[in-house]
Amino acid sequence: MKEKIISLNKLAIGSSGLVKQLTAQGNIRRRLLDLGITKDTIIESLRKSPKGDPIAFQIRSAVIALRSEESSKILVQWIE
């Protein structure tokens, strides 16, 4: 079966993904790395704000909110 790689902002609420690649550059990349978003980290999509942006994610033991612009630069493998 082929891996399903999607950007994090496309991950359905309640689903999890395994980080495969960061496409962000510069300060945004540094911020994502500082938040613990590294290769092979599991991220769960928790909920969207009423307007749909930002989205809350659980990363390790922390819950963080990322805007669609930032989360679109994180590629994850969808976990069933």
Closest CA to 26 of 72, 70, 75: 70
Could you list the residue range(s) of the whole structural domain that residue 49 is in?
5-79
Cα–Cα distance measured from residue 78 to residue 45, given in angstroms and rounded to the nearest whole number: 11
pLDDT in tens, 10-42: 999 999 999 999 999 999 999 999 999 999 999
pLDDT for the residue 2? 60
Q: How confident is the model at residue 80 (pLDDT cuts 50, 70, 90)?
A: confident
- Produce one character per residue of 7-26: b if its CB has 16 or more CB atoms within 10 Å, e if not: ebbebeeeebbbbeebebee
- Residue 50 and residue 47: Cα distance in Å, rounded? 9
What is the number of structural domains in the chain?
1
Q: The CATH number of the domain where 19 resides is what?
A: 2.30.30.90
Could you give the percent of the chain with pLDDT greater than 70?
98
